[in-house]
Structure formats: C-alpha cells, structure tokens
Structure 1
Amino acid sequence: MKDIIQIISNLEDMRFIKPASMEQIIEAEKELGVSFADDYTKYVEKYGVISARGIELTGVTTHERLSVVSVTKKERNMNSNIPANMYVIENIAIDGIIALQDETGKVYTITPNGTPKLSYNSLSEYVEKSNF
C-alpha cells in the first residue's frame, strides 16, 4: 500500500491548515465513538485537514465545515444508515454522496438514505483514484 503522506504531498494545489496533536485526534475519536484508521490518523497528524484540486478531506480541525466530528455528526443525523463505527472523510458534493471510512481503513460511499458500498481499500487508494 502506498504511503498516504506521499500521495497527499503530490496533490496539485494542495493546502492544509494545521496538523492535529495526538490529544486532539483521541478527543475526536471519543466524541464520535470511533477509532480512526491508521492512515487517517497519520494524515491528520501531519496535515490536520487538506484541500487540493478535486478533493477536500475532513480532518481534525476547529473549522466546522471540514471537521470530521462536525461533518460526521451532521451526516449521522441525516442518514440513520451510517454505521456507528464509520466517520465521514469527504462530502463529495455530487448527488449527496459522502465517503466514509471504518477503523480497518476501508472506504465506503453512501447516498442519502442509502447504505454504505465498499469503494476503496484504504485512504491512500481513495485519494489516489478519486482525485479528478
């Protein structure tokens, strides 16, 4: 599996806000009742949250629109089919589709009121293959 940090660092027009501390990451996991996948933890510890051409991942940040905690809570309230062990990694903003990740690292997509569909085996694969 390719390294998530290397993949992100090669994204066109990549911007990030502020790396998250391990304490902030643990607090976000507790708030959501989840364990982040290793690659997601590695990503937020390095970048906090990113935006690049074609992709805008949630992260551990105080910016509500990009906060994994805020976005996941909002999406859970709108779609009861989102499993409790998953968190939102991106609001794709096309037909209400969102991307979710579970603690094993697998990435799923879900439509409004739909159920999760396995789409990628890791965050690295998601970022690499879904970047337009």
Structure 2
Amino acid sequence: MDLIKSLFVSASGLKAQSGRMRIISENIANANSTARTPDEEPYRRKVPTFKSQFDKELGAKTVELGKVEEDTSDFRSTFMPGHPAADQNGYVLQPNVNTLIETTDMREAQRSYEANLNVIDTTRKMLQRTIDILKA
C-alpha cells in the first residue's frame, strides 16, 4: 500500500535529519574548543552528507545519513599570548565553526524534520479515516 511506503520514507527522513541535527549540535558545542598545545589542531567542523538508496522491500527510495566529513576550510586565529596553545607569535588557532551558519543549518534541519513529521501525521490520519470508512 502506498500509504505505508510514505510512512517508511518519511521515517527515514526523520532519522537522517535527526542525525544531521546531532552533528550540527556537536559543531556548535565545540565552536570555541581550541587545542591544548601549539602543535595540535583545534576542533574541526563536521559536515553531514546524505545518501539515497532504493529499498527493494518497500519499492521506494529512502534517505539516510551518509559519511560525516570534516570541513577543510582554514582555522581562524586570535591573538592570545597567554593561552597554552599560543604559537611563538601569540596566536591561537580557533575552530572553523561559524555559529551563524550552524544555526541556519539547524533551522533548516528542524524544518525538514517537521515536514517529515507532518507527512507521517497526515498519512496516519488518512489510514485512520480509511479504517473508519471500512467499519461503516
């Protein structure tokens, strides 16, 4: 039944967006995590990817969280001569996390999550209405 397929497809979207929100939360939590020594790198931003796959049992495409990659953009540096991770010039490398971008990504992930949740709710109501009609 196509309604059941829509439930499973939306559930895969919920799971993928949930994983995306977890990764974004980790980035935000580590936005100020510097290294402990001048030789170490600070926290590097993680970027979630998605992959689509065909579920033979369902006969439909689903989505899942793919490989989590590291953002290769440059670190920021801040002049903090007293910091343990400061180099010989007094600069400390800062994570390549921009909290404004992460907040925007989080909002987008939340909206996608809510859209999948609305599909599930609507499908559930349609199934319930069908059952009610068959009872009558």
Q: Normalising by structure 1, what TM-score?
A: 0.20
Q: Normalising by structure 2, what TM-score?
A: 0.19
> Which protein has greater RCO, CA pairs closer than 8 Å, 6+ apart?
2
